[in-house]
Every structure is written in structure tokens, then in C-alpha cells.
């Protein structure tokens, strides 16, 4: 179980631009739960992911995984058991390196390299097999630099790379937002397959309301650093995009928009 307890987070503290994003924020996510998170810009969605991954520090509170407090762990320490796919396909891969080299980097995450070769010939067949499941022909382009691939190909690679080593959590930060509709559908189908096969606890931030409804077993809506909608299991199955839009409209009216 992942628990966020009594989280406070301020931006620009002590200045005229000080902003309180989270005040006594609490959230619990069960093991193997696939959570979709929606909300307007500035609602705290990505900041929540950054806090979980250790990319930013909180001002108060604790983050607990299976009873262990990880609040003081660095981002690279959490990366050993967390995989993350970003909105920008360029952030999950190294464009100046080949597909084979990128796969090798992911395969050796958290390990010491020393002075040995960066890629192992013994693992190349495994890389090809992993990429062949995407159906994008990347297994035949092992020596092609990743920078020459399309955004969808790179995002598919990033998803595979983020789950190559044993992880418990998959963090998806609007990972289909920069893709065309057809490619986005492919990536979502692949995401669902990977999450189910590897039984990963998953948090997916998305602006696509249909994806939030169709995928996962829990749906959260955030607004101004608070959870204003939370549906799971059979309750989530009754939610559709119109229900989410209705909530968005209610919030908009309350804010005077």
C-alpha cells in the first residue's frame, strides 16, 4: 500500500508569490490498484506524482510504502522500485543513443557499470523480443538512434524500458498527451497489458476523460490540491465522461468562471 499522510507543500515560501498547493493532503492507494487521476491545470496532479517519485520535497508529512517511511529517500533510490513515463517522449529515452543502448541502460538501472561494455550481446535477443511485442518493428532497428524515431515509437519504448527491471509502481504523467489519437490508443492498450501482466500499482494522470473512465479500477479528480471525486471498483463502473464533465462545470461555477 502507498500512503501519503498529512502532506503540506508550498511553492516560493516566504515571498509575495508564495502558494500553498497541498495542506494536510492524504491519500491511500492499495497494492495492484490502477488509479486514473484527472483535474484542471494547477490542481496538483503532477506535483503529487513528483512528491511520490521524490522529484520535489514536501514541507511536511510522510510517504509510506507497505509500512516503510520513504519520505527521506532520494529520487534515484525510489527509482529502483518505481518506473515513470513522462508526457514528453524525449524525457524517457536518450535520443543520441541507439535503441540497443537505451534498452541496455534500462536493463541495468540501479546496477554498477564499472569499466565493462555498456551493452551485453547475451541480452540483445531479450531486447528484440521485448520490442517485438509492440508491433512497431523496432526489434529490427536496434542500431538506429532513438532521436530518429517518431514520438509514438519513443513513448512505447519508454513504457517498455520503465518496466524492464522489477518494479512495484508505475507512474504515468499524461503519457499519451503528446501523441496523435491513433498512437495514443496503441499506447493505452499497451499500458493496460503491461499493468495487468506485471500486476503493477499504477497512477495515471490524464486529461483524456475517456481513458480515465475506461482504464483502471479507481478514478480520482483533483482541484486546488484536494481530492474532490473518488470512485473505485463497481462504483467506478457506473461513472461516465458526462459525470466527470458535470463535476468540472460545478467547480468552474464555484470558482466564478
pLDDT in tens, 127-174: 998 888 888 889 999 999 999 998 888 888 898 899 888 899 999 999
pLDDT (mean) for 59-72:
95
Identify the pLDDT of residue 130.
87
pLDDT (mean) for 100-107:
89
> Which of 46-55, 99-108, 192-201 shows the lowest mean pLDDT across its residues?
99-108
Identify the pLDDT of residue 51.
96
Identify the pLDDT of residue 115.
41
Does residue 54 have a pLDDT over 60? yes
Calpha distance 182→175 (Å, rounded): 14
Average pLDDT, the chain: 88
Identify the pLDDT of residue 255.
63
Residue 117, Ramachandran bin (φ over 0: left; ψ between -120 and 50: alpha; else beta): beta
Percentage with pLDDT > 90 across the chain: 53
What pTM, to 2 d.p., does this model score?
0.87
Does residue 248 have a pLDDT over 90? no
Does residue 235 have a pLDDT over 70? yes
Give the residues across from 223 on adjacent strands: 226
Calpha distance 35→165 (Å, rounded): 22
Residues 6+ apart with CB under 8 A from 170: 82, 83, 84, 85, 162, 163, 194, 195, 200, 201, 202, 203
pLDDT (mean) for 111-123:
60
pLDDT (mean) for 42-47:
90
Identify the pLDDT of residue 16.
82
Amino acid at each position: 500500500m502507498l500512503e501519503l499522510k498529512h502532506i503540506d507543500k508550498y511553492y516560493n515560501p516566504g515571498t509575495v508569490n508564495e502558494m500553498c498547493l497541498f495542506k494536510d493532503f492524504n491519500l491511500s492507494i492499495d497494492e495492484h490498484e490502477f488509479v486514473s487521476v484527472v483535474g484542471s491545470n494547477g490542481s496538483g496532479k503532477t506535483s503529487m506524482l513528483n512528491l511520490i517519485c521524490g522529484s520535489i520535497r514536501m514541507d511536511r508529512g510522510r510517504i509510506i510504502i507497505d509500512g516503510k517511511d520513504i519520505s527521506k529517500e532520494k529520487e534515484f533510490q525510489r527509482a529502483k522500485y518505481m518506473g515513470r513515463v513522462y508526457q514528453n517522449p524525449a524525457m524517457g529515452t536518450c535520443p543520441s543513443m541507439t535503441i540497443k543502448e537505451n534498452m541496455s541502460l534500462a536493463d541495468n538501472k540501479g546496477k554498477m557499470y564499472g569499466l565493462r561494455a555498456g551493452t551485453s550481446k547475451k541480452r540483445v535477443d531479450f531486447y528484440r523480443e521485448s520490442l517485438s511485442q509492440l508491433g512497431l518493428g523496432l526489434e529490427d532497428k536496434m542500431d538506429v538512434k532513438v532521436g530518429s524515431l517518431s514520438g509514438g515509437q519513443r513513448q512505447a519504448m519508454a513504457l517498455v524500458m520503465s518496466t524492464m527491471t522489477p518494479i512495484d509502481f508505475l507512474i504515468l504523467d499524461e503519457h499519451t498527451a503528446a501523441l496523435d489519437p491513433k498512437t495514443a490508443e496503441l499506447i493505452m492498450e499497451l499500458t493496460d497489458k503491461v499493468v495487468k501482466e506485471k500486476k503493477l500499482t499504477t497512477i495515471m494522470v490524464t486529461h483524456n476523460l475517456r481513458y480515465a473512465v475506461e482504464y483502471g479500477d479507481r478514478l480520482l479528480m483533483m482541484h486546488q490540491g484536494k481530492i474532490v471525486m473518488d470512485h473505485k471498483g463497481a462504483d467506478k463502473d457506473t461513472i461516465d465522461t458526462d459525470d466527470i464533465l458535470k463535476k468540472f462545470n460545478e467547480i468552474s461555477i464555484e470558482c466564478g468562471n
